[in-house]
Structure formats: structure tokens, C-alpha cells
């Protein structure tokens, strides 16, 4: 977690995000900044569905999309709607540590048993369900995935500010994710060498597609 930047004061908010809705979000959540009054949303928050995450923000401040692992690849129409119709100009992509979407194969047996015993599924159907969808939702690593997804969304919506953040379960605080080391690679790579396919990683014999851009 040495790639995380603690934000314990307003001065520690990265300069690129100061005087923006991202700074307001961090102020509300980390510093108990007094709530402003909002008639329309200022930003979109993309975060995990995990029940351990709760944001301290005022009413009407943000659109919120919750998806496992903060993976918005399958919620892109909703993102586009928040931008095109909702008028937001910033996206906070918030991953968190100890995410259940990491190393899903370890939860395969529990997943199948839970559907069989709790939902009345047949075991074969439950296993097929897992094998069909787990590769889509495996994120590999919380920090790497959140950063790669932020980079992808910056390319997809070049006029929108996208901030990768991480929520630590232990203290409930938001942290910056260092992303300056990747930016020079993106800027210097000739277009003919850019690859946009989704690479696979292997976890204990299973191949998972992970949302990293290969540069």
C-alpha cells in the first residue's frame, strides 16, 4: 500500500484536484467539512457495493454507482448519462482494500454453496454461473485495478476529471493513489504501439480478464 497517499489535511489534496468537486468530496469525507447545499449533482462517485463503505457527503452532491470492485465497465451507459444529462464534470473512482472481487476463485465453493443452500439453485447451474461471470468481475488487485480503470475512463471521457482514490476499511478514510509513474508512459508511447486489448491473468489455473491498458 506504499502507492497510497494519505490525505489528512486540505493541503495534502493533490494540486490537480484542488478547487474541484474531488476536493469537496475529500473535505466532506475526511475532514468533516460542513455540508454545502446542492440542487444538482457535482460529480459521479463510482465505488464498490461492499457494505463496509459509507461516504460522508451532503444530499444531492453526487450521483453514485455501486458495482463490485468499483468496476464501471458494465455501467458505462449510466456514467455517460451522468455526464451528458446530469452535467457532471468529475468522477471519483473509489476502490477499497480487502475487496471481495480480488481472487474470486478462492470464493468459488462458498459462492456455489450459497446459491444452492440459500437460493435453491442446482449445483451445476451455480457452478456454471460462477464460471461464466467470475472472469468478468475479477479485478486482480484493488490499487492496480482502480488506477487502470481511472486511466481508461480518462481516455473515454477526455474532458472529465477522473480521480482514482482508495477507501481504507480500517480507518474509513480516502487516500490518493499515486499515478504519476504511469502518465509518462502514456504520453511517450507512439500510437502505433498502443494496444487496447484486455490482457488475461491466471489465478490457480483460471484465466481472468483484467482491466489494464497495455501501453
Q: What is the pLDDT of residues 156-207, one digit of tens each?
A: 999 999 999 999 999 999 999 998 644 433 333 334 333 344 444 444 444 4
The Cα 121–Cα 188 span in angstroms is 51
- The residue with greater pLDDT, 182 or 81, is 81
Q: Where are the alpha helices (DSSP H) in the chain?
A: 21-31, 76-84, 108-119, 123-137, 142-156, 183-188
Confidence (pLDDT) at 193: 30
DSSP assignment letter at 39: S
> What's the pTM value of the predicted model, to 2 decimals?
0.82
**Total count of residues recorded for the chain:** 215
Question: Which of these CATH numbers, 3.20.20.150, 3.40.50.300, 3.40.1050.10, 1.10.150.20, describes 4-100+140-185?
Answer: 3.40.1050.10
* Torsion on CA atoms 38, 27, 35, 158, rounded to nearest 10: 10
Q: Give CA–CA dist 182/137, Å, rounded.
A: 23
Per domain, the residue ranges of the chain are: 4-100+140-185, 104-137
Closest CA to 114 of 100, 102, 95: 100
* Confidence category of residue 1, pLDDT binned at 50, 70, 90: low
| Share above pLDDT 90 across residues of the chain, in percent, rounded to a whole number | 80
Which cell is 110 given? 462458498
Amino acid at each position: 500500500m506504499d502507492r497510497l497517499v494519505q490525505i489528512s489535511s486540505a493541503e495534502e489534496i493533490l494540486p490537480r484536484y484542488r478547487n474541484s468537486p474531488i476536493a469537496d468530496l475529500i473535505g466532506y469525507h475526511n475532514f468533516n467539512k460542513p455540508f454545502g447545499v446542492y440542487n444538482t449533482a457535482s460529480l459521479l462517485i463510482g465505488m464498490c457495493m461492499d457494505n463496509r463503505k459509507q461516504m460522508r457527503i451532503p444530499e444531492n452532491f453526487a450521483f453514485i454507482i455501486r458495482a463490485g470492485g468499483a468496476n464501471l465497465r458494465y455501467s458505462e451507459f449510466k456514467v455517460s448519462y451522468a455526464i451528458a444529462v446530469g452535467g457532471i464534470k468529475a468522477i471519483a473512482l473509489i476502490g477499497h482494500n480487502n475487496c471481495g472481487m480480488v481472487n474470486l476463485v478462492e470464493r468459488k465453493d462458498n459462492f456455489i454453496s450459497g446459491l444452492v443452500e440459500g437460493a435453491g439453485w442446482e449445483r451445476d447451474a451455480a457452478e456454471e454461473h460462477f464460471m461464466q461471470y467470475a472472469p468478468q468481475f475479477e479485478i486482480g488487485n484493488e490499487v492496480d485495478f482502480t488506477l487502470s480503470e481511472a486511466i481508461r475512463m480518462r481516455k473515454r471521457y477526455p474532458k472529465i476529471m477522473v480521480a482514482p482514490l482508495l477507501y481504507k476499511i480500517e480507518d474509513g478514510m480516502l487516500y490518493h493513489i499515486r499515478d504519476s509513474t504511469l502518465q509518462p508512459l502514456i504520453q511517450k508511447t507512439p500510437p502505433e504501439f498502443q494496444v487496447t486489448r484486455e490482457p488475461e491473468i491466471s489465478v490457480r489455473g483460471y484465466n481472468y480478464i483484467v482491466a489494464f491498458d497495455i501501453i
